[in-house]
Amino acid sequence: MKINCEVLSSVFKALSEEIRLRMLALLAFSDKGELCVCDIMSALDIPQSTASRHLAHLRGASLVKGRRKGAWTYYRLVADGEGPWKWLEQALNDLRRECPQVEQDLEALKRYLATKQVAC
C-alpha cells in the first residue's frame, strides 16, 4: 500500500479510539494469528455491535482483514511490512509495554480461550 494523505488520514482516524488500539493489540499479540469477533467481544467485555463497528473502522483503514466462517467473522492484522505497518508495529509494542490495560486484555483473552466450549 502506498502511503499518501488519504491513507494516513484513514489510519489516524481508525487509531483515534482507545478500543480500536486495544483490538489491534489483541490481534498483534494473540498466539492465534486471527480472532473471531466473539473472542474480541469477550476479551474486551463489549457487545457484538460495538466490536463489529470498531472492526469495520480498522478494516476500512486497511489495518485488519476479515474472513467469514458461518455466522462469524475472523480478523487478522494486515501486517505486510508496508505502508502504515512500518511504524505501527513499533507503536503497538510500545503500547503493550506502557499501557497496563493491554496486558489485562491479553490475560482476559487467554482466560476466555482456555474455557471456550464451542468454536465460533
Q: Which of 91, 99, 17 is nearest to 55 (CA)?
A: 17
CATH for 36: 1.10.10.10
pLDDT of residue 83: 54
Residue 118 located in a structural domain: no
User: Which cell goes with 46?
Assistant: 463489549
Average of per-residue pLDDT values in the chain:
88
Instruction: List the domain range (segments joined by +) for residue 81.
Output: 5-113
Res 87: pLDDT? 79
Query: Within a domain: residue 119?
Result: no
The continuous run of DSSP H or E covering 21 comes out as helix 18-29
* 98-120 mean pLDDT: 89
pLDDT confidence of residue 54: 97
Quote the pLDDT of residue 30: 92
Which of the pair, 63 or 5, is modelled with greater confidence? 63
pLDDT at 44 over 90: yes
Which pLDDT tens digit goes with each residue over 64-101?
999 999 888 999 998 766 556 667 888 889 999 999 99
Question: In this structure, is residue 23 part of a structural domain?
Answer: yes
| Number of structural domains found in the chain | 1
88 domain-assigned: yes
1-12 confidence digits (pLDDT tens): 566 787 778 888
26 belongs to a structural domain: yes
Over 80: is that where the pLDDT of 118 sits? no
pTM comes to: 0.86
SS3 69: strand
Cα(10)–Cα(2) distance, rounded to whole angstroms? 13
